[in-house]
């Protein structure tokens, strides 16, 4: 029982948080927006290939309750954001009926082979939320692929490379009954998706990630494999509580989960994370890697209202995982 010994040996003073919040959180909120909106949260994030600047594509909920995506760019990804004066990706139900109730929660990946950025986002259709794909080179012109995975499905991101001939997407369908697990699917052309497999199952019973799990930020390439941050949702008498956990997938075969942490590593703590439009939510959707090749800046929605920033060390997360690995679900 390696896990038990580790716990017994760790004194309180040795405990160090793996995610470290920026002292001036939240870094972006609806007060800063150049036009009237209800909330700004769950942003996709990417370091721009040409300029090295950090681009966030925030989910912005307007005062009708319908979301669009709006970009904000900054040199250091912390302050002095230059925010688009109007929506960057606006739902267009005439061309894309699946977007009738908005577009939400983007995840961005740079695709070296295609020389463009891939954005996976939730389209809120009359049949429920599904996963849509758009490609872009400049975040001004977008090639829309439409809904690639039908409702109910969300929390999707694409890997930056093919495995053999196939692109791979991680996503989270919701079944009519039972638990909602994280899945992986493959496609030869980005349009037709198959070979669907459960990747990270929700645990059961009293676990923090029982019943419902979903991918957070896009998969992070490391020497040990693909580092995955995911959210777990626990149903409580006072509503759903969101916490963040970590796992590692095999580098060459991402259907293999090598490590999965037993404990959550990040959860709602401060007022801006505990009080908002939805209480007790931290919801990371984007990260950028810093110049040291180890520190990641993680961007997260706080209580479905504003955007927070936390940093973590890939090395520390991987080491922690080796000490807290538990692949079971019971
Ligand atoms: C999820 C998504 C997110 C939201 C979260 C917490 O299901 O809808 O957009 O941030 O719930 O409300």
What are the tens digits of pLDDT across the range 273-323? 999 999 999 999 999 999 999 999 999 999 999 999 999 999 999 999 999
Which string of DSSP letters, residue by residue, matches 232-275?
EEEEETTEEEEEEEEEEE-SS-TT-EEEEBSS-SB---SHHHHS
Closest ligand 1 atom to the C-alpha of 105? 9
Q: How many CB atoms lie within 10 A of CB 330?
A: 6
CA 100 – ligand 1 centroid, Å: 18
Structure token pair of residue 206: 């009293």
HSE-up of residue 76 (Cα within 13 Å, Cβ side): 7
DSSP-derived secondary structure letter, 38: S
Share of the chain above pLDDT 70, in %: 95
**Residue 5 host element (H or E):** helix 2-9
* pLDDT, tens only, 154-177: 999 999 999 999 999 999 999 999
State the pLDDT at residue 9: 52
Which residue in the block uniquely carries the two structure tokens 């082979």? 113
> Measured in angstroms, how far is the CA atom of residue 181 from the centroid of ligand 1?
15
From the CB of 230, is ligand 1 less than 6 Å away? no
| Residue bearing the CA closest to ligand 1, atom 3 | 105
Q: Ligand 1 pocket, 273 CB below 6 A?
A: no
What kind and span of H or E run contains 149?
strand 142-149
Distance 298 CA to ligand 1 centre (A): 17
Q: Which atom of ligand 1 is nearest to the CA of 301?
A: 10
Contacts of 310 (CB under 8 A, 6+ apart): 19, 20, 21, 22, 266, 284, 297, 298, 300
Cβ-contact 108, 288 below 8 angstroms: no
| Ligand 1 atom 10 nearest Cα | 304
Cβ–ligand 1 contact at 122 (below 6 Å):
no
Cβ of 301 below 6 Å from ligand 1: yes
61 lines ligand 1 (CB under 6 A): no
Cα(326)–Cα(303) distance, integer angstroms: 29
Provide the 10 A C-beta neighbour count for residue 194.
9
Tokens of 114: 């295609």
Domain architecture of the chain: domains with CATH: 17-323 (2.115.10.20)
Is the CB–ligand 1 distance for residue 104 below 6 Å?
Answer: yes
Angstrom distance (rounded) from CA 160 to CA 221? 9
Q: Write the pLDDT tens digit of every residue in 21-69.
A: 999 999 999 999 999 999 999 999 999 999 999 999 999 999 999 999 9
Q: Is 174 in the pocket of ligand 1 (CB under 6 A)?
A: no
What is the pLDDT at residue 1?
Answer: 35
In the reported structure, the alpha carbon of residue 285 is separated from the centroid of ligand 1 by a whole-number distance in angstroms of 11
- For ligand 1, say whether the CB of 278 is within 6 Å of any of its atoms: yes
Question: Mapping DSSP to helix (H, G, I), strand (E, B) and coil, where does residue 297 land?
Answer: strand
| Cα 222 to middle of ligand 1, angstroms | 28
Average pLDDT, the chain: 95
Q: For residues 286 and 229, what is the distance between their CA atoms, to the nearest angstrom?
A: 10
For residues 299 and 43, is the Cβ–Cβ distance under 8 A?
yes
Check if 280 has its Cβ closer than 6 Å to any atom of ligand 1. no
C-alpha to C-alpha distance for 167 and 293, rounded to whole angstroms: 25
pLDDT attached to residue 16: 80
Distance, CA of 208 to CA of 32 (rounded, Å): 34
79: Cα separation from own chain's centroid? 21
- What's the pLDDT at 3? 42
Question: Which atom in ligand 1 lies closest to the alpha carbon of residue 283?
Answer: 10
Sign for the pseudo-dihedral over CA of 9, 10, 14, 16: positive
Q: Is 304 in the pocket of ligand 1 (CB under 6 A)?
A: yes
Q: Which residues make beta-bridge pairs with 289? A: 296
User: Is there an atom of ligand 1 within 6 Å of 111 CB?
Assistant: no
Q: Could you count the other beta carbons within 10 Å of the beta carbon of residue 183?
A: 21
Residue nearest to atom 2 of ligand 1 (CA): 105
Ligand 1 centroid, distance to 189 Cα (angstroms): 29
In tens, the pLDDT along 83-112 reads: 999 999 999 999 999 999 999 999 999 999
């Amino acid at each position: 029982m390696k896990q038990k010994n580790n716990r017994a040996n760790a004194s309180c003073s040795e405990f160090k948080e793996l995610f470290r919040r920026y002292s001036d959180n939240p870094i972006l909120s609806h007060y800063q927006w150049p036009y009237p909106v209800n909330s700004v949260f769950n942003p996709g994030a990417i370091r721009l290939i040409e300029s090295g600047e950090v681009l966030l594509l925030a989910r912005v909920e307007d005062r009708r309750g319908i979301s669009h995506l709006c970009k904000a760019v900054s040199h250091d990804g912390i302050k002095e954001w230059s925010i688009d004066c109007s929506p960057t990706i606006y739902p267009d139900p005439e061309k894309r009926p699946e977007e009738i109730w908005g577009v939400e929660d983007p995840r961005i990946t740079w695709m070296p082979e295609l020389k463009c950025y891939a954005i996976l986002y939730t389209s809120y259709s009359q049949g429920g939320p599904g996963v849509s794909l758009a490609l872009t080179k400049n975040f001004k012109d977008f090639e829309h692929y439409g809904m690639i995975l039908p409702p109910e499905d969300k929390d999707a991101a694409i890997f930056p490379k093919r495995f053999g001939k196939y692109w791979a997407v991680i996503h989270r369908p919701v079944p009519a009954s039972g638990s909602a697990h994280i899945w992986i699917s493959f496609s030869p052309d980005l349009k037709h998706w198959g070979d669907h497999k459960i990747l990270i199952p929700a645990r059961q019973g009293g676990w923090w990630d029982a019943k419902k799990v979903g991918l957070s930020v896009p998969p992070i390439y490391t020497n040990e494999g693909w580092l995955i941050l995911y959210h777990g949702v626990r149903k409580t008498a006072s509503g759903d509580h969101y916490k963040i956990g970590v796992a590692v997938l095999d580098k060459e075969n991402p259907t293999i989960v090598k490590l999965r942490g037993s404990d959550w590593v990040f959860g709602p703590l401060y007022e801006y994370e505990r009080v908002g439009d939805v209480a007790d939510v931290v919801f990371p959707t984007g990260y950028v890697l810093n110049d040291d090749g180890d520190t990641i800046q993680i961007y997260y929605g706080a209580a479905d209202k504003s955007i927070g920033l936390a940093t973590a060390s890939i090395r520390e997360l991987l080491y922690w995982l080796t000490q807290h690995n538990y692949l079971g679900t019971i």
